Amino acid sequence: MTEGSRDTDLGDIFNYNLALSYRALEPLDLILEANGVWRDKQEVEGVEDENSSGNIVYFSPGVKISLGKFMAYLSAGFPVIEDLNGVQTGTDFRLVSGIIIGL
């Protein structure tokens, strides 16, 4: 573990996911996901930051297109559970996208 100049520990992070995929049309898949992230408390100079850590679970509908060796995906995540400690900025939504090229 590497700590910052003020002996900062950003805490552990645990990501978890559950997905269902349905082939709607060739080459289009429809996807429903539940994505979550749990974060541990941060520590600065040995003192826990009470305005850190928590758990967020997103409902994330999306699409995936496969064309030969290429695949592209896009999903939009909307928080359904947002259990944050202290005073923190919430999340309205998140977008996840990507392109994969097979060999």
> Could you tell me which of 48, 35, 14 has the C-alpha nearest to residue 79?
35
Strands (E), the chain: 8-9, 13-25, 28-39, 43-44, 47-48, 54-67, 70-84, 94-101
**64 falls within a domain:** yes
75-90 per-position pLDDT tens digit: 999 999 999 999 999 8
Mean pLDDT of 67-77: 96
Question: Looking at the domain assignment, is residue 3 inside a domain?
Answer: no
Is the whole-model pTM more than 0.75?
Answer: yes
Mean of the per-residue pLDDT values for the chain?
93
Give how many domains the chain has, as a whole number: 1
Q: What is the pLDDT of residue 81?
A: 97
Identify whether 88 is part of a domain: yes
Q: Is the pLDDT of residue 5 over 90?
A: no
Whether residue 42 lies inside any domain: the answer is yes
Range of the domain at 19: 8-101
